[in-house]
Amino acid sequence: MKIDPNARYLASHEWARPEGDLYVVGVSDDAQEELGDVVFVDLPKPGATFSRGEVFGVIESVKAANDLYCPVGGEVVAVNTELGAHPESVNQDPYGAGWLIKVKPSDPADWEALVTAVAYGQDHP
């Protein structure tokens, strides 16, 4: 399992990584492995706002559909529209081309509340 050392994680396997004054959000390598082949991702439109831990979308695989939980609260400022045509990017590159949304955070404390990469790796060897 790959872990992005610059990201922090929710227990539900979503990650957030700082990028300037935004956070890039996706699902962990562990999550995409458990899901199997991703066939569809339902994401919000830019401008939508979410609280930390709130459902912001759905990811569907050949096995199941799962809710996606926002690791940091704030406004969605970008959505990975490439996933509409290429949802498999989540499987192939969950920390790169398979990113889901970018969020302008509303509360910096949300980042501090997330699980560090080291702790996440220990919980999900």
Examine the pLDDT at 93 and tell me if it is beyond 80.
Answer: yes
pTM (predicted TM-score): 0.95
39 Rama class: left (phi>0) / alpha (psi -120 to 50) / beta: alpha
Question: Radius of gyration over alpha carbons of the chain, in Å?
Answer: 13
Q: What are the boundaries of each domain within the chain?
A: 8-107
Q: Which helix (H) or strand (E) holds 104?
A: strand 101-105
> 68 in helix, strand or coil?
strand
The CATH topology of domain 8-107 is: OB fold (Dihydrolipoamide Acetyltransferase, E2P) (2.40.50)
- Asked if 81 and 50 count as a contact pair (C-beta separation under 8 A), the reply is no
> Taking residues 103-108, what's their average pLDDT?
95
> Taking residues 50-70, what's their average pLDDT?
96
